[in-house]
Copies of this chain bind each other. A is one copy, B any other.
Amino acid sequence: MIIIMERDASAENIQAVTSLLKEHGFQVIVHEGDVHTVIDALGDKTTLSPGRIDAMEGVKKIKLIREPFRLASRDRQTEDTVIEFENGVKIGGANRPVLMVGPCSVEDNYEGLLKVAVAAKEMGCQFLRGGAFKPRTSPYDFDGLGEKGLQYLAKAKEETGLLVVTELMDSTDLDLVCRYADVIQIGARNMQNFKLLKAVGKCDKPVILKRGQSSTIREFLLAAEHIMYNGNEKVILCERGVRSFDSAFTRNLLDISAVPVIKKYSHLPIIVDPSHGTGQRYLIEPMAKAGLVVGADGIMVEVHHNPACALSDGKQSLSIPQFKEVFARLNTLIDTLHLEKNVSLSCVE
């Protein structure tokens, strides 16, 4: 930790900071510059919060050396985390990228859902996604079927063998959702719902954590840290676009570079969601490809049996025939680039 004092900090201010640091076992070096005094502190930040020093009189700024996330950091674990499911499917590391598809919300039409699931199975997907509880910006919009939706997902799993991904919105529904889901999804709007992170941190299901709409990569990894800190290390990150100043052509700005950045600083798997990331059907294919070539461990795409009638997100969903066309090309890309072997991902440091 490096502490930069204000131009007009007094000797007492400086003394107060160094004393506190020493009390907490830090090694301290003071540089008196022409303008600012700079204090260098080496030690374990867990024993003294930087915020506390930041608030002292005469302190201008604190600069941290190490990233504040630990369990999620490559500094702690250099090899990639791989998450394995009962049926042998694996996410992360050198494994073939996984494919997750399904409607935004599970609607009261089991036949429609099953059609999507059957097509998904046929195209080599491993996961069926669908929301039974839906966060909606407006209270006037459809907010999900609830348990009935979960039952439909379970039934489709039974018929196809696909693993089920579904969103948890409130800690009170945790047990219910765990009964049906193979992977629990935490939505973007709940990325910093810390009670919810704590709750899923205490269960043993893998968790897909979606990046908040304006969360930095650091906050994203710290949200993962909350889950891991509570005991669940099976976290799958999901880049799904961030808010930008331009929403005329896309709903969000899909941050493709987040994938290689996170691969460098964390061992956790990361997938890409081009449906929410762009909000536009015609961008799903190119952006899924972009995610794959930069090393994403999977792709999550919205597919609906009849997008024009979808109760949510129809605009960014593929129909079943479109899905087959697009995923045939994605599978070819994965095969051609041998993405399962990570051959093309070596990069210059």
Contact = CB atoms under 8 A, between A and B. Distances in A.
A40 B282 CA distance: 25
A193 interface: yes
Interface string A313-336: 111011000100110010011001
Contact of A194 (B169, B195, B313): B169
The listed residue with most B CB atoms (<10 A of its CB), out of A42, A135, A247, A255, is A255
Contacts of A286: 257, 259-260, 293-295, 345, 347
A170 interface: yes
A99 interface: no
Contacts of A229: 139-140
Contacts of A151: none
A36 B66 contact: yes
Contacts of A254: 256-257
B189 A348 contact: no
A89 interface: no
Nearest to A225: B139
Contact of A313 (B29, B51, B142, B190): B51
A22 interface: no
A107 B348 CA distance: 24
A157 to B, nearest CB: 25
Interface stretch (A123-131, A175-183, A213-221): A213-221
Contacts of A55: 307-310, 313-315, 317
Contacts of A171: 170, 172
A86 interface: no
Interface stretch (A90-98, A111-119, A238-246): A238-246
A163 to B, nearest CB: 25
B195 A169 contact: yes
A218 B4 contact: no
Contacts of A4: 65
Nearest to A63: B63
B285 A222 contact: no
Interface in A195-229: 195-196, 213-214, 216-219, 222, 225-226, 229
A66 B61 CA distance: 11
A256 B242 CA distance: 13
Contacts of A329: 344, 346
A248 interface: yes
A222 B56 CA distance: 29
A35 interface: yes
A18 interface: no
Interface in A244-301: 244-250, 253-257, 259-261, 264-265, 277-278, 281-287, 289-295
A80 interface: no
8 contacts: A7-B75, A29-B29, A54-B315, A55-B308, A170-B171, A193-B193, A264-B282, A283-B347
Given A242-B246, A244-B253, A285-B348, 12 more contacts: A31-B40, A51-B314, A135-B194, A172-B195, A216-B246, A244-B244, A253-B255, A253-B257, A256-B290, A257-B283, A261-B283, A286-B294
